Amino acid sequence: MTSLAVDPASATERIVEALRRHLADDFKRKGYVVGLSGGVDSSVSVALAVRALGPKKVFGLFMPEHESDPDSLRLGKMLADYLGIETAIENIAPILDGAACYRRRNEAIRRVVPEFRDDWGCKLVLPNDKLQSDLINVTYLVVQPPGGEMRRVRLPAPEYRQIVAASNFKQRVRKMMEYYHADRLHYAVIGTPNRLEYDQGFFVKGGDGLADIKPIAHLYKTQVYQLAEYLGVPRAITSRPPTTDTFSLPQSQEEFYYSLPTRKLDVVLSGFNEGRSVKSIAAEAGLSVEQVERSIRDVQQKRQTTRYLHMSPWVIEPVIPETTEVSA
């Protein structure tokens, strides 16, 4: 994917300078808090923060719950030890239990699969043949009893919305914890979305979409991996497939949200953003012209559907005047 190659040294230096400048000039805080998931995005983000400020001014936070992949905590701890930063573990399961996160989700599942029990696994997926039709964003529920086979059923809209709404408690509670520690330490919060996630609205408003600065939001996933190698992020993290770590069954980002594997989607999205022809994008991505056209339509639909997530709160009239100088 040569069109996505970056100079990791200069890209790192630009981000590091911005992290220092915004912290001092805009946030007027002492350091940064980063939620660590054991994935490449949070790992690159925290490594950039350490490069900018040193390890003593960066705080890492682990926030497991009942359905977290144990590798998330293991890999996150490994990276934190490698970087030499202070960390804390906040088990958010009791908060999620108190908010009835799991109960609300499972109630919706049982309206579709009445025999579903709380000890079953579950996840949401898109069609297997996403680019064979325009039904890319039809969502299916996958359930699995302990020791049994997976079952897949199409989700009606009300049940889909309730499952997503309940699951979003996880992202919002994690962000609440990040801001608790940021306020306690007089730090700012780093958000970790890459360009695919940020562009396509693959985040929760008031959850992982909330932050004071998002240092890699301009970088395609392929470019994040390039910075990861430059920054020395351990291979155990960079070789791990990107996951949502939201549902009780293992789930890749691709099967949950994207129309293509992220490396191919990087090529399609960057080519589309640069105004390149569909034919040239298809040749570089190793896809047919029709597949690229369908993927671009999906990009446009996701941008339109998730525009709300990017909006700041509206006020009816301006509240803060453009100038606040006191007249003589």
The label of the residue with tokens 């499972």 reads 106
Q: What are phi and psi of 140, to 5 degrees?
A: -115, 150
d(CA 297, CA 325): 49
The secondary structure of 232-264 as a DSSP string is T--HHHHTSPPB---SSS--BHHHHT-SS-HHH
164 touches 141 (CB < 8 A): no
Contact present, 52 and 14 (Cβ < 8 Å): no
Cα separation of 164 and 161, whole Å?
5
Looking at residue 1, its pLDDT comes to 45
Measured CA to CA, the distance from residue 62 to residue 39 in angstroms comes to 12
The answer to whether the beta carbons of residues 18 and 176 sit under 8 Å apart is no
d(CA 146, CA 297): 39
Task: With residue 143 as reference, give the H or E element that holds it.
Answer: strand 140-144
Alpha carbon 176 to chain centroid distance?
Answer: 16
Q: What is the DSSP letter of 190?
A: B
For the chain, report the end-to-end CA distance as a whole number of angstroms. 61
How far is residue 122 from each of residues 94, 125, 200, measured CA to CA in Å? 20, 10, 24
Asked whether the beta carbons of 209 and 193 are under 8 A apart, the reply is yes
List of the chain residues with pLDDT < 50: 1
CA distance 285 to 301: 21
- Of the candidates 92, 39, 87, 38, the one whose C-alpha atom is nearest the C-alpha of residue 65 is 92
The structure's pTM equals 0.93
Quote the tokens at residue 88. Answer: 């804390």
Distances, alpha carbon 220 to alpha carbons 121, 272, 298, in Å: 32, 13, 17
- All residues at 6 or more sequence positions from 183 whose CB lies less than 8 Å from its CB, including other chains: none
